[in-house]
């Protein structure tokens, strides 16, 4: 039973049960009274586009019978293609405990241009439909359980978007496909599927920022960036394929090989660099969410820089400088280490401390060389500068993540 259907101006009697099993259409309806969707389950398409809810609307009060010996499950179930596009909720919008479509095609842009004058209630929703929030308009924000976001759900959303893009490609390459007859043609393709996911995560990120929930804001931000990375990967792959197709039948073989190389290396340099930078950002700091990952990266970088300094010292020693003069090895050494050891440790330490390098003292590194080995000392100073800039950035990322995790304003 659907309570509140009789208030629809253009369908006063409401749909008959046999009419709603595969397709439930309320396009353009207007509900003047309180609507409660009891025992509501939509196994097929559910169209609520351009609907206006004047009063409170409760989809979360639906009760699903799972079996004779099982307790009722609360919340409306949307299983097929669902659309609330351009709908208006003037009062309470209760979607608590609801289940949304599992495939990306059925939920992408589900709330597109849909406006909620009051808080959108999504409490108890087990699986957030990330891409459903693309283009949504929230006057008072939304409410979700504190367990969200969940990484495994986002991973599944990425897989769903990829699967949808593959099905779109099959559909668009079919001989019988007519673009003008496809109502979903503007949503098809990898770019559109991942764009919907990216936009939905951006909405959730913005809502967490408005609620001053910095930890969850950053989490949704990382999802947004990852969805954008997938968009960029597909865009670059499409560009490479396009460039290879253009030179496949090139009359001059040498020119064709050069164009194929360009198609693989630099299809779009700016987007290529953006993808590379985004991936490094994710690997180094988990998109700004990890306190320890940037510090671990700094330790690894400092170790490799130490090895580079040692290599430079050996090369400088072979060229006749005093860098390794009178250095000893093993049992031949006395109680005091060679100055080179202390200077090397000081150079790496000062570089790793970044903006806090004064804590390691004000002395000049490799001062025991005097005016000797100017090239070696200049290279070390340049290396310390680069090391210091890198350390400053990594320390900043770590402190920023610490601030987010502890909600420090």
Q: What is the pLDDT of residues 53-70, one digit of tens each?
A: 999 999 998 887 666 666
Q: What is the pLDDT of residue 331?
A: 45
What is the Cα–Cα distance from 117 to 120, expressed in whole angstroms?
A: 9
In order of 174, 224, 304, the CA distances from 285 in angstroms are 43, 15, 19
Provide the whole-model pTM: 0.81
Instruction: Kindly state the average pLDDT of the residues 334-345.
Output: 70
Asked if 194 and 131 count as a contact pair (C-beta separation under 8 A), the reply is no
**C-alpha count within 13 angstroms, C-beta hemisphere, residue 136:** 35
Residue holding tokens 């004047």? 54
Q: What is the pLDDT of residue 8?
A: 38
Q: Which has more confidence, 356 or 197?
A: 197
In order of 40, 45, 47, 105, 123, the CA distances from 22 in angstroms are 13, 6, 11, 17, 28
Q: What is the pLDDT of residue 298?
A: 95
If one counts every other C-beta atom within 10 angstroms of the C-beta of residue 141, the result is 14
In order of 109, 170, 193, 236, 283, the CA distances from 167 in angstroms are 18, 5, 11, 20, 31
Burial status of residue 226 (CB atoms within 10 A of its CB: 0-12, 13-18, 19 or more): buried
Which residues make beta-bridge pairs with 116?
Answer: 89, 138
Confidence of residue 328 (pLDDT cuts 50, 70, 90): low
Q: Which two tokens stand for residue 218?
A: 């950053």
Helix axes 374-405, 269-285, angle to 10 degrees: 70
In order of 116, 215, 219, 276, 301, the CA distances from 400 in angstroms are 33, 11, 14, 22, 20
What is the Cα–Cα distance from 86 to 50, expressed in whole angstroms?
A: 5
β-strand 63-64 against 73-74: which pairing, if any?
A: antiparallel
Residue holding tokens 């699986």? 127
Q: What is the pLDDT of residues 347-370, one digit of tens each?
A: 898 889 988 877 666 667 776 666
Is residue 11 over pLDDT 50?
A: no
In order of 21, 24, 53, 59, 61, the CA distances from 31 in angstroms are 21, 16, 5, 14, 17
Q: What is the pLDDT of residues 383-392, one digit of tens each?
A: 989 999 999 9
If one counts every other C-beta atom within 10 angstroms of the C-beta of residue 354, the result is 18
In order of 164, 279, 351, 386, 391, the CA distances from 395 in angstroms are 40, 19, 12, 14, 6
If one counts every other C-beta atom within 10 angstroms of the C-beta of residue 15, the result is 15
Q: What is the pLDDT of residues 99-157, one digit of tens each?
A: 999 999 999 999 999 999 999 999 999 999 999 999 999 999 999 999 999 999 999 99
């Amino acid at each position: 039973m659907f309570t509140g259907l009789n208030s629809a101006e253009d369908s006063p009697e409401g749909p008959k049960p046999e009419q709603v099993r595969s397709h439930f259409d309320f396009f353009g309806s207007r509900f003047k009274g309180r609507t409660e969707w009891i025992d509501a389950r939509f196994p097929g398409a559910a169209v609520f586009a351009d609907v206006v809810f004047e009063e409170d609307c409760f989809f979360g009060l639906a009760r699903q019978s799972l079996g004779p010996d099982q307790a009722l499950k609360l919340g409306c179930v949307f299983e097929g293609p669902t659309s609330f596009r351009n709908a208006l909720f003037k009062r309470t919008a209760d979607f608590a405990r609801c289940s949304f479509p599992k495939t990306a095609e059925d939920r992408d842009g589900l709330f597109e241009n849909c406006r909620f004058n009051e808080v959108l209630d999504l409490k108890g929703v087990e699986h957030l439909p990330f891409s459903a929030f693309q283009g949504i308009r929230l006057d008072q924000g939304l409410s979700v359980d504190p367990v969200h976001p969940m990484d495994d759900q986002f991973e599944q959303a990425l897989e769903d978007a990829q699967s949808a893009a593959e099905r779109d490609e099959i559909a668009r390459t079919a001989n019988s496909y007519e673009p003008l007859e496809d109502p979903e043609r503007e949503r098809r393709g990898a770019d559109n599927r991942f764009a919907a996911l990216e936009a939905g995560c951006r909405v959730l990120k913005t809502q967490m920022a408005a609620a001053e929930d910095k930890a969850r804001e950053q989490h949704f931000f990382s999802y947004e960036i990852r969805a954008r990375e997938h968009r960029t990967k597909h865009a670059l792959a499409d560009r490479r394929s396009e460039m290879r197709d253009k030179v496949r039948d090139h009359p001059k073989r040498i020119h064709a090989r050069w164009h194929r190389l360009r198609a693989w290396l630099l299809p779009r340099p700016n987007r290529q660099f953006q993808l590379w930078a985004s991936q490094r950002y994710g690997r180094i700091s988990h998109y700004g969410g990890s306190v320890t990952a940037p510090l671990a990266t700094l330790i690894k970088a400092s170790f490799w820089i130490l090895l580079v300094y040692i290599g430079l010292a050996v090369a400088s020693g072979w060229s006749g400088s005093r860098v390794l003069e009178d250095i000893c090895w093993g049992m031949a050494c006395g109680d005091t280490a060679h100055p080179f050891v202390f200077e090397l440790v000081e150079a790496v330490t000062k570089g790793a401390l970044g903006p806090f390098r004064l804590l390691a003292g004000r002395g000049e590194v490799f001062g025991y060389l005097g005016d000797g080995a100017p090239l070696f000392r200049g290279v070390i100073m340049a290396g310390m500068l680069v090391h210091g800039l890198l350390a400053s950035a990594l320390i900043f990322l770590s402190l920023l993540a610490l601030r987010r995790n502890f909600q420090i304003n």
